[in-house]
Structure formats: structure tokens, C-alpha cells
Amino acid sequence: MTEPNWVQHAIWWQVYPIGFVGAEQTAAELASKEQGRPVVHRLGQLVPWLDYVVELGASGLALGPVFASETHGYDTTDYFRIDPRLGDDADFDELIAQCHARGLKVLLDGVFNHVGRSFGAFQAVLSDGPEAPSASWFRLRWPDSGWTPGTEPGYEDFEGHHHLVALNHDEPGVAALVTDVMKHWLARGADGWRLDAAYAVPPSFWAPVLAEVRRDYPASYFVGEYIHGDFAGEVERSSLDSVTQYELWKAVWSSLNDANFYELASALERHNGFLDTFVPLTFVGNHDVTRLASKLANPDQLALALTVLMTVGGTPCIYYGDEQAFRGIKEDRAGGDDAVRPAFPAGPADLAGTGWPVYHLHQELISLRRRHAWLHRARTTVLTLTNEHLVYQVRADGGAGDASALTGGGGAEGGALTVALNLSGTPADLPVPAGSGTLVAGRAHRHPERDAVALPGYGWAVLGGS
């Protein structure tokens, strides 16, 4: 494993900055609206929320795109410039300083599979044709009859989005650019990179680029966006530290909606296999999916989803607003992401009161996880499984072990917790191993006279020694 040691304690709070600060939806809208004021200093709107992040229990701020772009941030036009809708270098430096003063790491979002059409190197191609020095940076198709000024070549794009121009990752100049961009912002204080659409980039591209970046910044963290596929193999070939664990995300909400814990149990077994190679980035919500509170058919089961996130191996990531049970449905249309990428108020005091119980639930479970740092690489063993009931054990050493040896300790060796979940509205008594300890978190009680835990409807329990 290549991940830095500090990642063992990382719990991210992910923000989509353009939405969070209420910025214009396009760079053109800013230019039209703010004539004579080309930069609007909005990144500082995140600073009043940093203490809220610390109090939540998170240890890092995972920023969505902050670089100059045409619209949503994933159509980059200048990797070396902060999006003027957000601010400038000074605003970025101040945000980094404020995060680090509170012990928060900062993860940046790098879109290195494709660029926006206004990206300078692509504009040079449109102006100068095949003779442009940057023509080899893209996968172009020139007319058979030859190029004439004003003729636009065909080009590969990202998944049919013609405004997203795919880069040519066989071109050394592209590798040099990505390396320089990563180093530039790491030098300014960033602690790592989320690599957008990493699954669309050949692993053979990432490996030498990351090796070069790590030579100067060995403590940096690199996580790739992968939706499906051979996660472990991609990590090994690319040398990424981690990838996004979409399989577990889907299994969590789907098993709750379908009353089918068998799906979750199967996903947990595969998750164990991933942990043999790397520690996945785990989540129950992000900027690309319907919010958990809207995705669940029964919002009373939200606590069960969060319990899974915080008690299995992985590097957990919480999407801003999920800790307040924000709702929002992603739709497959233009602007269909807006509902899950909302503006936040000026500060935590302006939040509605209805979301704070879910915030406190997050605090309880994050506190549990931080007391048991070994959960980062813990393996899961299912002990009891029905459609609506699940009991599993998580252990630092990855083995099921002898039930009598369960201690619940927080050390790297021998730590164990037992988790019981009831997705039914009917109370349930579920068996737990002898020696599994006392209730350390949850809405349940431990039977004193037998090895069982009593769960109310939609109840959950975590048992251990501390």
C-alpha cells in the first residue's frame, strides 16, 4: 500500500465549492454580470464552516473543482488559476492556512481526463490546425481533404459530452502538464488529489505521473474516481492509493430499500478483498448522486446506513449537507445536479433546526471511529444474516477469531467491534458473540443474562470494550 500514514485517521467532509458559495453557473454569466470585477472572492465563505467540520469529527476538507472552468468545474480551462467565481490565489492560500490551523487536510479535485473547449491548448488547435504544438494533446480527426482555417476537427470527448474534450494520455506533454499541475498546488499547501474520471484514463498514465509527484511530495494522497470494474487491479497498475467504493455505496441504500441484507453481506465480502490491496474511499453520498435522505424509501433507516459507513474498513467521506439530512434528487438532464449541489448559508447558526439530530448522530459514530483507528483497515465477518437483520464483527486483524477473545480494544492488534442492525420497524433480539462487550454506541440495550442485543424498530448497536 502506498497511502500516507495520516490517511488512517482521515474522515473527509466533501464540498462542491461552486454550489456551496452560490456562484454563477457559468463563467460567461460572471463576465456579463460583473463587468469590471473579473474575480469574486467567495472561497472565504467556507472558513466560517471549518469549526463546524472539526466539531463534526472530520479531519479533512475534500474540495470539488476550484480551477477556472466554463460551467460546473469539470470543464477546466486553466489548471493554474482559481475559478474567478470563487476567488484567486490569495483566497486559496487563506483557505489552506485556515484548514491547516485547525488540523484539517485538504484534498483537491483534478479533472485530468478531459478539458473544456476554452482550454488554451485546444483553442490553439482550433486556430492553427494540425500544426499547433498542442495538436498531439488531443485525439483528433482531421478532414481527409486537409485542414483549412475555420475547419474544426472531430475529437474524442468524455462519454458523449461534446463540450468535454478528451486528452491524449499517450502524449508526454499531457503527462508533463498533469505532473506540473499536481506539484504546483501541492506546493501551495494541498495534501492530495481526487482524480476525476480516473477510470477513463489508462493506468499506465497514472503510474509514472504519480511516481514523479511522490518524489517531491511523498506524503500526498491520491484517490481515483472508479464506478465499477477491477478496483484492486486498477490500483495496482496505476499506483493510486485508493478508489471510490461505489459498490458499497449502492449495496447500502439498495439493501435497505429492498429489505435485502444479503446484498450488503455480499458487498462486504468483496470489500474485504479490496482491503487486501488498498483502503477504499467509502461514502453514502457525493456530488454525483441523489442524497441518501432522498434515496432511502424510509428515512428512519438513515442511521443504519451511516453505521455501516463508520464501522467498516475504508476512508469515510461525508458529503456536505448529508450530516444535516439534506434532501436532493439528481436528474439526468441539463442542470440535473443542482439539487444535490446547493448553496450553504453564511454559517452553521443559519441551518434549520430539524437537521441537528442527524448531525449529532454523525458525531456519535465518528467519535466511535476515531477511538478505534484500526477500523481503517478492519475486515468484516457476517455472523447473523436475514433479509431484515444483520450482525457482523469487524476486527483489526481481519480474522473472525475466537469469540472469547473479543476485546473491543482500540489498538492496532486484536481490536474488535460487533455491529447489529434491524431494518424492520419491529423490535428484534439478535444474538451476539460471547465476550462482545457492552453497548458503546447505538439505540439498543445489551441483554445482561444472555448473549443478545435488543434492538427497537430500525435500531442499531455497536458493542465493544470501549
State pLDDT tens for residues 295-316. 999 999 999 999 999 999 999 9
Predicted pLDDT of residue 2: 83
Same fold, 5-375 and 378-464: no
Superfamily of domain 5-375: Glycosidases (3.20.20.80)
The DSSP annotation for 22-72 comes to T--SSHHHHHHHSTT------GGGGGGGHHHHHHHT--EEEE---EEESSS
Structural domain spans, the chain: 5-375, 378-464
Kindly report the pTM of this predicted structure.
0.95
Into which CATH architecture does domain 378-464 fall?
A: Sandwich (2.60)
State pLDDT tens for residues 213-230. 999 999 999 999 999 999
Does the pLDDT value for residue 294 go beyond 80? yes
19 DSSP 8-state letter:
H
Does the pLDDT value for residue 103 go beyond 70? yes
Does the pLDDT value for residue 135 go beyond 50? yes
CA angle 303, 306, 310 (to 5 degrees): 135
Number of H helices, E strands in the chain: 13, 23
CA angle 243, 4, 413 (to 5 degrees): 95
The C-alpha cell that represents 2 in the structure block: 502506498
pLDDT bucket at 144, cuts 50 / 70 / 90? confident
The C-alpha cell that represents 317 in the structure block: 467521506
The closest alpha carbon to 239, from 218, 259, 263, belongs to 218
Name the strand (E) or helix (H) holding 319. Answer: strand 315-319
Q: How far is CA 210 from CA 184, 207, 223, 411, in A?
A: 14, 5, 11, 32
Bridge partner residues of 462 (DSSP): 419, 441
d(CA 421, CA 130): 61
Predicted pLDDT of residue 448: 85
pLDDT bucket at 411, cuts 50 / 70 / 90? very low
State pLDDT tens for residues 414-441. 589 999 999 999 999 999 999 999 999 9
pLDDT bucket at 403, cuts 50 / 70 / 90? very low
State pLDDT tens for residues 181-218. 999 999 999 999 999 999 999 999 999 999 999 999 99
